[in-house]
A and B are shown apart, each in its own frame.
Chain A
Amino acid sequence: MIQISNVSKSYGTFDVLKDCSTTVSKGEVIVVCGPSGSGKSTLIKCVNGLEPFQSGEIIVNGISVGDPKTNLSKLRARVGMVFQNFELFPHMSITDNLAIAQMKVLGRSRDEAVDKGLKLLDRVGLKAHAHKFPGQLSGGQQQRVAIARALAMDPICMLFDEPTSALDPEMVNEVLDVMTELAQEGMTMMCVTHEMGFARRVANRVIFMDHGRIVEDDAKEAFFANPRSERAQQFLAKILHH
């Protein structure tokens, strides 16, 4: 589904990503973790072309992301993304947030779009808030709406960029529950996150990044039981103390 081959990216003289390669198969759930500045957010933003990269190749569902001829807009319609700061559109109601891309990108009628949006809203448990505005919802609620907004496009895979990092601790679980359900239903997911509990429960593989490189890429059991690199060991030791 997603093939990342030898991707490198730099900002001027600073190398953000160094020769990263991995694959994500259909139905797989991959967790990407690592210390701040390791490039994990950048890597995931390269997958849907929000960040350009200088060398290497990324193929999503057979389409090359870096190819100048690729219609990025069409590609992004098929790849869902959830952001750390939710990024709901504050001037639109929840319903409109859910409907706008369906109408403008997929060409669905307003009725169709609203209908689908409300169904998904119900699925994440927020149907009662459909007419409200993002500013009136809590962080956890906004993030769940953001997930619904991405799902409304019927994506083939979902990218999560630290979806719970900006949430108060008490709201993290409501979002993780939605993500867990999604994984159990077979959605292909690539998640950048610090939530190791979630990774343990739901991930198939764990990727550990450090200083722009993919240092570890293991099945989850192997990663947690016996990380090969010293850096990953240090990281796990610190983070699992929560």
Chain B
Amino acid sequence: MYEFDWSSIPGALPFLWDGMKISLEITLLSVVVGIVWGTLLAMMRLSSIKPLSLFAAGYVNLFRAVPLVMVLLWFFLIVPKFIEQLFNLPPGTDLRLTSAMIGFALFESAYYSEIIRAGIQSVPKGQMAACQALGMNYTQSMRLVILPQAFRNMIPLLLTQAIILFQDTSLVYVSALADFFGAAYKVGDRDGRLVEMLLFAGAVYFVLCFAASTLVKRLQKKYHPA
């Protein structure tokens, strides 16, 4: 029987907390960018200007067809060099964190844009007709009437996607970034207590995500008793 030794954990908590902060930072940034850029993408996709809708469709379909791991590797290995050369920055500038965050945000935006697009399309067509009949232009209609309704319908899905995003942050491991999971692995590896640290990390993620998704379900029941 394996001899469990949890003694690594207490001493490592500050380090693990730093990692958790990074996980949360990436999550928060990606959610914000995801919603903003995702909304723009969704509107582009739904617009009647062909080049815009084609671009948005291409963007979304591309990012949804490839693994996140690949996108992160792309932004970890390729993009920093590319930006260095483009802006003539001194070599060795650490763009890793920024790059990973950008890659992450661009990737998740594609998923957010699909949720938002569905949300926009779920608003009855009559609403837009009513806006136009009242003389509102496209931007006004979207901003004042359509988007507010769309977002209210989408909140549970947006929140659920945020939980998924939080879990996805563990993949920045491939960019050698110390997010919570990366930190847990480092501690386990260093102390030879990988088993305990991995189980600990799993338990922490479980508690956080389960609590969050229970909250979302409760919110859903409250606002949509149907």
Q: Is A–B contact present in the complex under a CB 8 A cutoff?
A: no
Chain A residues engaging chain B, CB cutoff 8 angstroms? none
Chain B residues engaging chain A, CB cutoff 8 angstroms? none
